[in-house]
């Protein structure tokens, strides 16, 4: 696949951005490749995804040469049509939001610069592990534009309103330690890819039906009123308990370690 590599081993999908000579800058080919990879993963036996980038940066943002090709085009005709995500997104937004829609957990292993489109891709992951030297930035304001690749949906779920505004208005790069304090980064690790893979291996051993149910439920919990969240909890749990194979897993765990009641 152009611009990315994808392999699925032991129920773990590893997606790498493979344009290191351009710091994994996002052009049309990369957008196409990332969306194709998301579809391929959805159809695979993967239970968790790890996204990383080759070379000095995870992703330095949009390829400015590809942006120059938009000059003279009709921006409304290009951007406004809802072509992806069941009619909710365009291709640029789906670049990040496809990973939220994926039914399995997604972990982003970050290093170097994580700017603009790269940050919005990382925001689409469930978990972000960053190297200590990582820098993150909502870069669009630098070019006189606004974040339009899902960032306006994803950022408010992670950071306070004032932090959201500061990141957007200034386009200033933020070091990993500050990003962790603000909630952009889940944790910092000397080797983020190794840490991400360790997490992924643990998740891949969990019940796949329960993991998928948990991701669906978390999405509801983040967006719906309390009444809907509580009903969704009950529905997901009832569906899991109703599976004979799930009860076999529970029975096996109890046999290994019987619960102690007071």
Q: Say which CATH number the domain at 224 has.
A: 1.10.12.10
**Where a domain ends, among 180, 204, 228?**
204
Q: Please check whether residues 65 and 154 belong to one and the same domain.
A: yes
8 A C-beta contact, residue 59 and residue 125: no
Instruction: Tell me what pLDDT residue 198 has.
Output: 98
Q: Please check whether residues 44 and 100 belong to one and the same domain.
A: yes
> Does residue 262 sit within a domain?
no
> Does residue 261 sit within a domain?
no
> Does residue 127 sit within a domain?
yes
* pLDDT tens figures, 177-213: 999 999 999 999 999 999 999 999 999 999 999 999 9
Q: Which residues contact 236 (CB under 8 A, 6 or more apart)?
A: 213, 214, 216, 217
Instruction: Tell me what pLDDT residue 249 has.
Output: 63
Q: Please check whether residues 217 and 189 belong to one and the same domain.
A: no
Q: Please check whether residues 227 and 116 belong to one and the same domain.
A: no
pTM for the whole structure:
0.90
Q: Please check whether residues 191 and 251 belong to one and the same domain.
A: no
Instruction: Tell me what pLDDT residue 250 has.
Output: 59
> For residues 33 and 16, what is the distance between their CA atoms, to the nearest angstrom?
11
Instruction: Tell me what pLDDT residue 262 has.
Output: 47
Q: Which residues contact 78 (CB under 8 A, 6 or more apart)?
A: 70
Instruction: Tell me what pLDDT residue 78 has.
Output: 86
Q: Please check whether residues 86 and 198 belong to one and the same domain.
A: yes
Per-residue pLDDT of the chain (262 residues; tens, 9 = 90+): 689 999 999 999 999 999 999 999 999 999 999 999 999 999 999 999 999 999 999 999 999 877 665 666 788 888 899 999 989 999 999 999 999 999 999 999 999 999 999 999 999 999 999 999 999 999 999 988 899 999 999 999 999 999 999 999 999 999 999 999 999 999 999 999 999 999 999 999 999 999 999 999 999 999 899 999 999 999 999 998 887 766 566 556 556 666 565 4
User: Which range marks the domain in which residue 247 is found?
Assistant: 208-256
Q: Please check whether residues 43 and 80 belong to one and the same domain.
A: yes
Q: Please check whether residues 227 and 182 belong to one and the same domain.
A: no
CATH code for the domain of 10: 3.90.226.10
Instruction: Tell me what pLDDT residue 64 has.
Output: 80
**Where a domain ends, among 161, 179, 204?**
204
Q: How many domains does the chain have?
A: 2
Q: Please check whether residues 131 and 79 belong to one and the same domain.
A: yes
> For residues 215 and 4, what is the distance between their CA atoms, to the nearest angstrom?
25
- DSSP code of 103? S
Q: Which residues contact 28 (CB under 8 A, 6 or more apart)?
A: 66
């Amino acid at each position: 696949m152009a611009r990315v590599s994808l392999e699925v081993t032991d129920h773990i999908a590893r997606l790498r951005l493979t344009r290191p000579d351009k710091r994994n800058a996002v052009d049309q080919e990369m957008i196409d490749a990332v969306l194709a990879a998301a579809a391929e993963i959805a159809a695979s036996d993967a239970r968790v995804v790890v996204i990383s980038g080759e070379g000095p940066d995870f992703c330095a943002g949009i390829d400015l040469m590809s942006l120059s090709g938009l000059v003279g085009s009709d921006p409304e005709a290009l951007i406004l049509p809802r072509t992806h995500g069941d009619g909710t997104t365009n291709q640029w937004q789906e670049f990040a939001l496809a990973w939220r829609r994926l039914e399995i957990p997604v972990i982003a292993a970050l290093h170097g610069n994580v700017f603009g489109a790269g940050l919005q891709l990382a925001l689409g992951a469930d978990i972000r592990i960053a190297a200590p030297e990582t820098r993150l930035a909502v870069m669009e304001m630098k070019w006189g534009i606004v974040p339009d690749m899902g960032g306006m949906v994803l950022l408010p779920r992670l950071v306070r309103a004032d932090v959201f505004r500061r990141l957007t208005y200034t386009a200033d790069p933020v070091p990993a330690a500050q990003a962790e304090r603000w909630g952009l980064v889940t944790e910092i690790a000397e080797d983020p890819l190794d840490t991400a893979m360790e997490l992924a291996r643990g998740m891949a051993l969990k019940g796949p039906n329960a993991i998928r149910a948990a991701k669906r439920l978390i999405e509801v919990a983040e967006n719906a009123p309390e009444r809907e969240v509580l009903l969704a909890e009950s529905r997901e749990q009832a569906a899991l308990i109703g599976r004979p194979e799930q009860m076999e897993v529970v029975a096996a765990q109890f046999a290994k370690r019987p619960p102690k009641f007071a």
